[in-house]
C-alpha cells in the first residue's frame, strides 16, 4: 500500500545548473520536488551529480542558474534557522582528529549557541537524548576514530538528530556497515520521517530502496525522474540512470515495471 504523502514542499529545486570554476557543468537544468515528511532516495552513478546536488542544497556551491527552496523558504533562510542537517560520507571525515563522540554530536547544537559556543543545559540534554536514541550513550567518551564504521554512522546521525533540523541529507550512510546496522539505521530514518523530517539519502544499494523509500530521485547530469518510488523505480528508468548496468547493484535482481515486478535479466 502506498504511503500518503504531504502536499507541503520539503525540498524543491527549479532549473538548477552548477558550473564549477574549471568550466565543468556538474548539474544542468535540474528540477525536483520532494514533499515534507518524505524519505527519498537519491540514485545515480559516480559522477552523476549527486554530491553536487547535496552541495547546492547545503549552499556549499553557488548556483549558476535556478533556485532551491527548503520547506518553502530560500536555502539561506533555512540554513540560518538551523533547519538543514548533513550526514557526510565516511571519506569526507578526518577520523584521526582527536575528538570525543559526544563532542561530534554537540557540533549539531552549534547553531543554537552564541558566538562563544558555550553549551547550555538544553544543548547537553539534546546531545544525551540523541545518543540514547541511536544506542550510543555508552560510547560518548570514546574517540570518534576508535569506533567501528557502523558506530561512526550512528554518531553522525545523532548529530543530525541533536541539531533538530527538519531537512536531513545523508550521503552514502549504508556504506561499510553490516546488514543489521543498516536495518537499524533505516528504522531510525523512518521514525524521523514519521516525525515530520524530510530526508534525502544517497545510496548505491538499490536492493533496499523499494522497501523503505517513499520517493526516488534519479540523477545523471540532471534530474532524470523524481516521484513516488512505486512510479519511478522501474527497469527503464534505472537503465537510463545507470547506463543499463544494473546486475552488480541489485541483490535480488528485481525492480518494478509499472506496478508489476520485472526481473532485470528479462529484455523487452
CA dist 159 and 185 (Å) reads 14
Domain 1-83+166-181+197-268: give its CATH code.
Answer: 3.40.50.300
Q: Quick check: helix, strand or coil at residue 66?
A: strand
Q: Is 83 exposed, middle or buried (0-12, 13-18, 19+ CB in 10 A)?
A: buried
The ranges of the chain annotated as CATH 3.40.50.300 are 1-83+166-181+197-268
User: Helix count (H) and strand count (E) of the chain?
Assistant: 9, 12
- What pLDDT, in 10s, does the model give residues 20-47? 999 999 999 999 999 999 999 999 998 9
Phi, psi at 242, each rounded to 5°: -115, 25
CA dist 266 and 268 (Å) reads 7
pLDDT of residue 2: 58
The answer to whether 197 and 167 have CB atoms below 8 angstroms apart is: yes
CA dist 130 and 140 (Å) reads 11
Mean pLDDT confidence for 106-122:
91
pLDDT of residue 94: 74
Handedness of CA 107, 112, 118, 120 (dihedral sign): negative
pLDDT at 217 over 90: yes
What are 100's strand-pairing partners? 143
Q: Give me the percent of the chain exceeding a pLDDT of 90.
A: 72
pLDDT of residue 246: 60
CA dist 147 and 135 (Å) reads 13
- What pLDDT, in 10s, does the model give residues 131-171? 999 999 999 999 999 999 889 999 999 999 999 999 999 99
pLDDT of residue 92: 63
Amino acid at each position: 500500500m502506498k504511503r500518503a504523502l504531504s502536499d507541503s514542499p520539503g525540498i524543491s529545486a527549479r532549473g538548477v545548473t552548477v558550473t564549477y570554476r574549471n568550466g565543468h557543468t556538474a548539474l544542468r537544468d535540474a528540477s525536483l520536488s520532494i514533499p515534507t515528511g518524505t524519505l527519498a532516495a537519491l540514485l545515480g552513478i559516480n559522477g552523476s551529480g549527486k554530491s553536487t546536488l547535496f552541495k547546492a542544497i547545503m549552499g556549499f556551491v553557488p548556483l549558476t542558474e535556478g533556485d532551491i527552496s527548503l520547506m518553502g523558504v530560500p536555502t539561506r533562510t533555512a540554513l540560518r534557522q538551523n533547519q538543514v542537517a548533513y550526514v557526510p560520507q565516511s571519506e569526507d571525515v578526518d577520523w584521526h582528529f582527536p575528538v570525543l563522540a559526544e563532542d561530534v554530536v554537540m557540533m549539531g547544537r552549534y547553531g543554537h549557541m552564541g558566538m562563544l559556543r558555550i553549551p547550555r543545559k538544553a544543548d547537553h540534554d539534546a546531545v544525551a537524548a540523541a545518543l540514547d536514541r541511536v544506542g550510543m550513550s555508552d560510547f560518548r567518551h570514546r574517540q570518534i576514530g576508535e569506533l567501528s564504521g557502523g558506530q561512526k554512522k550512528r554518531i553522525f546521525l545523532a548529530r543530525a538528530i541533536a541539531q533538530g533540523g527538519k531537512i536531513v541529507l545523508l550521503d552514502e550512510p549504508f556504506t561499510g556497515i553490516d546488514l543489521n546496522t543498516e536495518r537499524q539505521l533505516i528504522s531510525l530514518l523512518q521514525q524521523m520521517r514519521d516525525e515530520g523530517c524530510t530526508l534525502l539519502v544517497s545510496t548505491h544499494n538499490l536492493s533496499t530502496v523499494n522497501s523503505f523509500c517513499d520517493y526516488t530521485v534519479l540523477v545523471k547530469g540532471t534530474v532524470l525522474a523524481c516521484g513516488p518510488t512505486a512510479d519511478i523505480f522501474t527497469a527503464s528508468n534505472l537503465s537510463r540512470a545507470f547506463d543499463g548496468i544494473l546486475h552488480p547493484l541489485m541483490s535480488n535482481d528485481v525492480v518494478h515495471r509499472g506496478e508489476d515486478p520485472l526481473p532485470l535479466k528479462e529484455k523487452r
